[in-house]
Every structure is written in structure tokens, then in C-alpha cells.
Structure 1
Amino acid sequence: MGSARRGATDRAVVEMNESNGKSHGEDPRDAAIEWWLRRKNRAPTSAEQTKFESWLAADAGNRAAFDDISNMCGHLIDMDPARSNGLSGGRTRQSWRLPAAALVAASIAFAVFFDDLSLFLRSDYRAGTGETKRITLEDGSRVELDSRSAIAVRYSAGERRLALLAGEAWFEVAPDRSRPFVVEAAGGSTTALGTAFDVAVVDAQARVTVTQHRVSVASGGRKVIVDEGQQSAYATNGAAQPAEPANVERATAWRRGRLMFEDRPLGEVIEALGRYHRGFVYFPNPALRARRVTGIFGADDPLSALEEVEASLGLHAVNLTNYLILIYE
């Protein structure tokens, strides 16, 4: 996810106070972002270096914030193809004259591009960022793909097998007793024993929700039967959890252009919102991903949804580039 929100530029949403080297905001991460961008854009003057060192020494939190931002941005810039494809030193040095924010954005765009390319090459059907797609398969079964979701179809004479490669999909299965309908996801499989069900891969976990009849979910050496109105889940290659009652309306809200969460981890919510907007959200403090979120959001405006989440949890966001948002307390 990422966008120039709240009038932010690619440099940062904070403005340094030249007289004292501190940001107008209170959080040291804002100032750390500005210092990092300044020092990567050009070599600091003697006066700027003195101010920078004074700012670092003023508070231990300043040093920690600057180290967080430097480590994160340094890793992203290391992903830049211009620094890893054997170009001459002259061209490499020239790339460093580009604004640091542009390099970070290019690195993220590069990584996202190859992730999307890999998905494209492995899939038979996929929905792009911000779109959903409806598909009718050769046997008459119907599939609805959520945004940034993809499936591969592996039909044979004796079995109708598909793989959910990414995201979420709803399946309405055409009856055919001689050819079981099986959906692979996250190392497990779901076999239709009736009509319709939803499969989602979120935050390294697969979730199966049955909207009509029943399915059999198998993973990690365990098989469970999930009836209509129930749900099962499993971590990647982990054992399938026992079926339990599900809020079907919430689980399938994406089919109606809504995203509904009840006491879900912030990391899971960010991943779901991220399917509707290209980019990356970074947490300098990974523990924030465990914060719990409850709410209903429009899938057509993920950035507004993110702002609502920030406000409700007392968090803050900074747009480092058009492709990168930092979230912190």
C-alpha cells in the first residue's frame, strides 16, 4: 500500500527545524526519516553533521529510531537491480545521486513487479490490484477471485484440482461425482462435498469457510469435515483445526466490496487492505502487527481504511515514498 496522503511529498511529512535539528513533531521516527533522506541525497555539510550528531546524542530514542529507518531503507535499496547486476562503478555512483526516496520506490516497484510476474507465469486466472474477477470453468463451476488473487487449474480425467496461489477465492462447484473438486492452498487441500465455499490465504494461514453444504479440509496429517456456516483454518503445512461456527457474511464481505474484521491482528488487516493498493507497509516495531482491529471498511478506498485504523489504534503513518508507508506509535 502507499500513496501521497495528507499532502505528503516523497521526502517525508515532517519538516526539520533548522535552528535545533529537531522535527516539529514529537516522535523521533519523523526526524529520523528526514535525517536519513537528507544524508542519502547528498553529503552533509559540517554544520549539518554537527546538528545530526547533537540530535543523536540528545535522546537514546533518536539513535534507535535512526537505526530502525537506516536498516530498513538500506535493505530496500540493496534490492535495487542497478546495484546487483554488475554495472560499472561509474553507473553505480551515478545511481546514488538520485533522491533516496526514488531509489527506495524503485526497489519496491522492482520487487513487486517480479512477484506479480511470478504469479502471472504460474496462474491460469488472476485478479489485479484493486479488481475482482468472475470465472466459469470448463465443467460449469464458478470462481470469484478477490483482488491480487490467482489460481492454477489442473483438471484431469479423474479429478478437478485447482491451486489458490495467492489471495482469496470463492468456489461454486458444479456436481460431478466421478471427478472430485479439490482446492490446494498453503500446503493443504479442501475437497468439495457440496456446493460453495471460500478459501483465503492470509498472513501464512489458510482459512476455509463453507457457504453451502460441506467440505473436507486436509492438512498436516489431519482431516476435518466443515459444514455449512462453519470454518476451519491451518498454518502453512500445519494440522487442520476443528470446524467451528463462522460469520459467513464477514468472511465473504469482499464479494460485496466490503472488508469486515472482528478482533483480528493488525498485520492481517494490513495484508488484506494491501491487496487493493500496490505498495508496502513497514512496521519499525513489529510488535504493532499484533494489535487487534475491529471494523468495516470499503474495499474501494484502502487508504481511507488505513487512516481509520491508525486513528482507532492511536497510531501514526508516514509516506516515505509513493510505495512505502511507515506505521508507528
Structure 2
Amino acid sequence: MTHPALLAQAREWQVLLHSGRATEADRAAADAWRRAAPEHDRALREVEGLWALLGQIERPAQPPSVRVVRRPLRWAVPLASAAAVLLALWLPRGTWVGLYADISTGPGEVRELRLEDGSLLTLNGDSALDWQFVDGRREIRLYRGEADFQVAHDPRRPFTVSAGEAHIRVTGTRFDVRLDPEGADLAVSGGRVLASSEGREPLPVVAGQQVQWRGGELQAPQVLDARQRLAWQRGKLVFRDRPLAQVFAELERSQGARVLFVDDAARALQVTGVFALDDPQAVLRAVESTLPVRLVRLPGLILVASRG
């Protein structure tokens, strides 16, 4: 089996070579890397296999029967314009973050960490952060994913968390912070925190409330639905009328495959259900059996398209 680190390097070369920005020097360097060891050549051949598979989906070698492939152009057009994006999505999450984060978790991995001040951190799957305790300050930076913070009370040393545009300041309490491409989300389950964004006055958020940052702006506090929002802490995934796009975004923290929507129609479909955090395949089976979508599974990637 090819080592994951070599596969990651091979994927990076493949993305560069198909990005349209590769120079002759880049191509020569990729060729030299390939010839440096048999393991390198094997890794690149595995990556090229996915590229070839995408090509087969775009342009079947033989006319497919109607029974096997319905509406083939539905896949061909998006894939033809997004092949390089697909390869980029196939890169392991956190390839760069992992270089500088103090702690990170893989998909499906939940980890606890006791800090030197006695605070307890619990990281959800596919998360990364680092911390710095200097000059009377306790500072955390969340790079991706989600973490629950049980902060040791110390009025002399404020505890701050930065997550994208979000800034959170406390002296001792319990709260959960999630950071994804849409923005940051804060849920307070105990005590009181001060939430802010750059250049804005801090907003008090108390136990039983949650707030979001969208487009860099801090939104008004909302009532916290702890059963759904903090379900991961109980080993559950709880969805109540959640758009399919959000469901898959959360599911990516539990399973290794990336998800790409081929069309927009499927994104807004609603999902309701309770699932075990350690059984993401149950979510996929439920989606396929109850919603008008079809899933195509590729190595490290799931393509989602609406049916009909």
C-alpha cells in the first residue's frame, strides 16, 4: 500500500500539472520527483488513475445503455469544467494547516486535551488549533473544525479564542466554537462570553445562546438548540430540517471523503434524522434512500447530483 504522505505529494503534483499554471520547470521537477524512486512512480500512477476515472465518467468509451447511465450529460458538463477542482478537493484536508497547528484531528477522530492552566479542550473530527500562554494571556487560534472549551476560571488571565473573523473572550466558562467555510459559530453552554469581530464592540453571549459570524459580521444572538448543535459531544449527528449542503459539510468531519455537488438543486433538500457519529455511512444510506439524489463514490470523493 502506498504511504499516505507520498500520495499527498503526488496529488499536489497532479493538481499543479493540471492547473494551467505549470511551467516547463514545474513539469521537469514533477518528472524528476517521479523518477526519484519506484514508490513515487506508483503514487503518481494511483493519482492518475483517478484522473482517468473522471475521464471515463465524462466520456464513456462505449455508448452506455439507458438502464446503466441516465442523463450522462448531467455529469459530463460539470466534470469537464471542474476536473482540476476535483483533484484539489481530493487533497487530504489540512495538508498545510497540519504544518503549524499544535494539535489536529482526522475525520471521525475526537480528542481531549488538558492545557497547562487546567482548561479542557475537546476537538471534533477534522479540526486543528494552536495555543499560546504568554505574558498573562491565554490565546487559542482555531484554524478549522470545531472544539468544546471548558475554561479554568482565572480573572487575572483572560482566555481568548480566534476563529476566522470571530473573537471570543472569557475568564472561565464552557462554550463550543465551530469554523467552516460559511463562517464561525459560537454556542455557550455555561457562563458568559464576550463575542466580537474586528473593530466592533464586544457582545455578551450567555449560557443557552448561540451566535454566528457571516461575511465577517457578528449576527444577533439566538436561542441555543443544544440537542442539535452540540450533539457531537454525545456521539450523535442530529439534523432537523437541515439543508443537504450543511449536512454534508458536517459529515466531512466524520468521514474521510470530500463532497462535491454537481448541481445546485440538491443543496437545498432538507434532512431530518439522528445518527451515530461513528457511522457516517448510515447518513449516506439515508440520503440515497429518502432524497431524490444519487451519489457517485470515487477514491476520496463523493459526487452528489439530483435525480429527475
| TM-score (structure 1 length as normaliser) | 0.69
Equivalent residue pairs, number: 250
**How far 1:290 moved relative to its partner?**
2.7
8 Å CA contact 1:203, 1:271 repeated in 2: no
Q: Which one of the candidate residues 282, 300, 303 is aligned to 1:326?
A: 303
The answer to whether the aligner puts 1:231 opposite 2:236 as a matched pair is no
Q: Matches of 2:94 and 2:293 in 1, distance apart?
A: 30
Greater RCO (Cα-Cα under 8 Å, separation 6 or more):
1
- The residue aligned with 2:230 is 252
Q: How much has 1:23 moved relative to structure 2? A: 3.4
Match of 1:169 among 144, 147, 152: 147
Tell me, what secondary structure is at the counterpart of 1:286?
Answer: coil
Give aligned-pair identity as a percent. 31
User: Which residue number corresponds to residue 80 of structure 2?
Assistant: 70
Question: Do the aligned residues in 2 keep the contact of 1:159 with 1:181 (CA within 8 Å)?
Answer: yes
8 Å contact 1:263–1:292 — kept in the other structure? yes
Counterpart contact for 1:153–1:161, Cα < 8 Å: yes
The aligned runs of 1:147-166 (5 Å cut-off) are 147-166=125-144
Larger Rg: 1
Q: Does 1:241 align with 2:219?
A: yes
SS of the counterpart of 1:170? Answer: strand
After superposition, the Cα gap between the structure-2 partners of 1:141 and 1:152, relative to the gap in structure 1 and judged at 3 Å, is same
| Residues 231-254 of structure 1 deviation map (CA, whole Å, 9 limit, x = unaligned) | 111125x22112121111222111
Alignment of 1:20-169 (within 5 A): 21-25=64-68, 27-28=70-71, 32=72, 62=73, 65-73=75-83, 75-76=85-86, 108=90, 111-112=91-92, 115-169=93-147
Inter-CA distance 182–201: structure 2 relative to 1 (3 Å threshold): same
Does the 8 Å contact 1:193/1:213 carry over to 2? no
CA distance in 2, matches of 1:297, 1:210: 23
- The answer to whether the Cα contact below 8 Å between 1:223 and 1:240 also exists between their aligned partners in 2 is no
Q: Distance in 1 between matches of 2:284 and 2:238?
A: 13
Partner of 2:170: 192
1:296 aligns with 2:306: no
Partner of 1:100: none
Selected match of 1:278 from 251, 256, 274: 256
Cα separation, partners in 2 of 1:193 and 1:265, compared to 1, 3 Å: farther
Unmatched 5+ stretches in structure 1? 1-9, 33-61, 80-106
In structure 2, the partner of 1:214 is 192
Residue deviations 1:245-279 (CA, integer Å, cap 9, x gap) = 11112221111211112222221210111112112
The amino acid of 2:112's aligned partner reads: R
User: Cα deviation per residue 1:123-176 (whole Å; 9 max; x = unaligned)?
Assistant: 111122211000000100000000111111022122111011110000001011
TM-score (norm 2): 0.74
Q: Which one is further off, 131-140 or 199-208?
A: 199-208
Q: Deviations over 1:258-305 (max 9, x none)?
A: 111222222121011111211221111034223332221211111221
Q: Distance in 1 between matches of 2:114 and 2:239?
A: 29
Q: Distance in 2 between matches of 1:293 and 1:223?
A: 35
Q: 1:266 aligns to what? A: 244
Query: Is the Cα contact below 8 Å between 1:186 and 1:204 reproduced in 2?
Result: no
Which residue matches 2:5?
A: none
What's the CA shift for 1:310?
3.1
- CA shift, 1:222, in A, is 4.6
Change in CA separation of 1:324 and 1:249 when aligned onto 2, cut-off 3 Å: same
The 1-side partners of 2:64 and 2:109 are apart by 44
Q: Counterparts of 1:261 and 1:223 in 2: how far apart (Å)? A: 31
Label 1:17 to 1:189 Cα distance change in 2 as closer, same or farther (>3 A).
Answer: closer
